[in-house]
Amino acid sequence: MEIMTGSCRFGLWHVHVAWKGDLVHHLRFAREGIDGPVPDVIRQYCAGKPVDPVSLRSIATAGDTVSAAIYRAVRSVPYGETATYGEIALRVGTSPRAVGGAMARNPTPLVVPCHRIVAQGGIGGFSPAVEIKEALLRMEARERGKGGLNRSSPHSF
DNA sequence: CCAGGCTTGGAGG
DNA sequence: CCTCCAAGCCTGG
């Protein structure tokens, strides 16, 4: 099977995905859409269903680099919940700043839910636009509130 | 090698 | 409460 590319809609944005089976190679938000399929989970998630794209695999978590460890830690933050840059840093054994850097270069947002990582005193940043992060967090908070997913199960580090 | 980043926490006004 | 500042550390160029 070859690597597939396609996009689906999320609000005013288009989510481009390059993937093969359950492995996502690349994912990005763009203004324009492209032809082609995206994984069902991504499509459903973007449509507002409380499914977690983390169920897919990401190339970003492979290897024993610090970044890969950061991405793996970020993947353990459940749908509808958030963690701070500092908490992830503490867990991986690096600095909050390094976590921010890794999030900024995350090749597969959603699959590695970097939008769930916020600053201690605010929402933190998001490329290419922080509005996307706000929309994703609002959507997850809303869907979680509906109770379609096991809620309020505080994950401990 | 070095600038710079999606951070923090502490100091000082 | 708010601004300012540097410690801290990984990575692309």
Q: What are the pLDDT digits (tens) for A28-70?
A: 999 999 999 999 999 999 999 999 999 999 999 999 999 999 9
pLDDT of residue A51: 97
Distance A17 CA to C7 C1' (A): 38
Question: Would you say the C-beta of A95 is within 7 Å of strand C?
Answer: yes
Any catalytic annotation for residue A8? no
At residue A3, does pLDDT exceed 50? yes
CATH number for the region A60-146 comes to 1.10.10.10
pTM: 0.92
pLDDT of residue A144: 87
Question: Would you say the C-beta of A105 is within 7 Å of strand C?
Answer: yes
Q: How far apart are CA A106 and CA A25, in angstroms?
A: 11
Question: Would you say the C-beta of A90 is within 7 Å of strand C?
Answer: no
Q: CB under 8 Å to A57, separation ≥6 — which residues?
A: A22, A23, A24, A111
Q: Which of A59, A114, A118, A136 is catalytic?
A: A114
Q: What Rg do the C-alpha atoms of chain A give, in angstroms?
A: 15
Question: Would you say the C-beta of A117 is within 7 Å of strand B?
Answer: yes
Q: What are the pLDDT digits (tens) for A74-129?
A: 999 999 999 999 999 999 999 999 999 999 999 999 999 999 999 998 999 998 89
DSSP state letter for A127: S
Protein-proximal positions, strand C, CB < 7 A: 7-12
Distance A121 CA to B2 C1' (A): 30
Domain boundaries, chain A: 4-57, 60-146
Distance A84 CA to B6 C1' (A): 11
Q: CB under 8 Å to A147, separation ≥6 — which residues?
A: none
